[in-house]
Amino acid sequence: MSEAATATAQAPSTKKTVELVIERQDGPDGAPYKEEFVVDYVPGMNVIACLQAIQRNPVNKAGKPVAPVTWESNCLEEVCGACMMVINGRPRQACSALVDQLEQPIHLKPARTFPVVRDLVVDRSRMFEALKKVKAWIPIDGTYDLGPGPRMPEVDRQWAYELSRCFTCGACVEACPNVNDKTEFMGAFAISQARLFNAHPTGAMHRAERLEALMGPGGIQECGNAQNCVQVCPKGIPLTTSIAAMNRQVTYHAIGAWLKK
């Protein structure tokens, strides 16, 4: 072997890698455990790209073949909310979490406010139950053409659009200290959606029902005003403003109901 070939063979590898520590769970009743992985670095890669690399070659850092890590994703452009997980201690979207902006090793955990299905996949059913509780939709009378609906003033439409950007990712629920196994608190997202649909000219017909839901178990009274929700919302939705606004609506509704007795 030539001297050049020998030097090349003995030179340390300069290939850049990404180290990940993933909290795994084999099933809903399984015990959580940590597993380390190393994947090749690609410029501009995000956490989803790291998970895809593990899926293609499910071998842990020790070189042992393992079951591929499971996770959820869909749009890959921070629109669907499916890939929300806890990344380096903060709930966020894996698709917009760029490796170059994260401290290594990158720690990935499921959002344990929700029941874990497997690895990083969680069951967000409690969020959709909360949306049903506050009737977070605009009711229509059938599917036939009803003609143009009432218009909203532009100033109201603009702030309502900000609330409508919620994609039910669950980051606000995961970050909230008042959402736990000892409470039924529905979370800031549901309160904000109640505000959105109460402001809609057609949705306002169910305004009283939404306010009654917010006054019931798990409602707005269980918010401790920690304000973690607004800090982690990937869309920058003014959740604490919505909570304050709905506190006011609920108070007026309660006083009005009392006066009618």
* Mean pLDDT in residue range 113-129: 96
Per-residue pLDDT band for 192 (boundaries 50, 70, 90) equals: very high
How crowded is residue 101: how many other Cβ atoms within 10 Å of its Cβ? 8
Amino acid (one-letter) located at 203: G
Homologous superfamily of 125-259: Alpha-helical ferredoxin (1.10.1060.10)
Assigned token pair, 180: 């736990």
Torsion angle of C-alpha atoms 140, 143, 149, 154, degrees rounded to 10: 80
User: What is the per-residue pLDDT for 30?
Assistant: 95
Judge whether residue 217 has pLDDT over 80.
Answer: yes
**Beta-bridge mates of residue 20:** 37, 106
**Locate tokens 């299905």: which residue?**
117
Q: What pLDDT does residue 2 have? A: 54
pLDDT at 4 over 60: no
Span 154-163, average pLDDT: 92
Q: What is the pLDDT of residue 238?
A: 96
pLDDT for the residue numbered 61 = 96
CATH number listed for the domain at residues 15-122:
3.10.20.30
Please give the Cα distance from 94 to 51 (Å, whole number): 10
Tell me the DSSP string of 78-117: SSS-TTEEEETTEEEESSS-BGGGS-SSEEEE--TTS-EE
Structure-model confidence comparison of residues 148 and 186, the more confident one: 186
Categorize the per-residue pLDDT at 146 as very low, low, confident or very high, splitting at 50, 70 and 90: confident
Question: Where does the pLDDT of residue 10 fall: very low under 50, low under 70, confident under 90, or very high at 90 and above?
Answer: low
- Domain residue extents for the chain: 15-122, 125-259
Q: Using the predicted structure, report yes or no on whether residue 12 has a pLDDT greater than 60.
A: no
